[in-house]
Amino acid sequence: MKLDKCRSCGLCKANCPIYNATLRETIGARGRAILIKKEVLTDIYYTCSLCKSCDTECPAGIELSKEIRKMRERMVEEGKETEANKAMIDNIRKYGNPFGKIEKGKFPDKLYCC
């Protein structure tokens, strides 16, 4: 596991937009790194925007965004994905976008992220 080098220093959360917006350690970059190291499957991984700011700030060179993506894939494989994630995937397959059918001049009813 690539996170073996992680020392939980917290530099990854410095520019994490999710942490900065919520100030919740558990859903910030360091919190997700700790959960991945413990191999915890949780929908917290879906709160990440995958912006990669944690990757650029990490002094150990860990690409946390890749590890988060792997945990998301593992959750899907184990049938633990969120309803929003299922809807996005269905819409992408059906309409080529995560929002579903979009009528000209109208906004989608639901907006999804990541």
Does residue 104 lie in a domain region? no
pTM score, whole prediction: 0.76
Q: How many residues does the chain have?
A: 114
Does residue 49 lie in a domain region? yes
pLDDT greater at residue 79 or residue 66: 66
End-to-end CA distance of the chain: 23
Distance CA 90, CA 14 (A): 34
Residue 103 has a pLDDT of: 82
pLDDT band at 111 (very low <50, low <70, confident <90, very high): low
Helices (H), 1-114: 17-22, 29-37, 53-57, 64-77, 83-95
Does residue 6 lie in a domain region? yes
**What tokens appear for 57 in the block?**
């700030």
Does residue 70 lie in a domain region? yes
Q: Which domain holds residue 36?
A: 2-95
Q: How many domains does the chain have?
A: 1
Does residue 108 lie in a domain region? no
- Tokens 């970059």 identify what position? 29
Does residue 22 lie in a domain region? yes
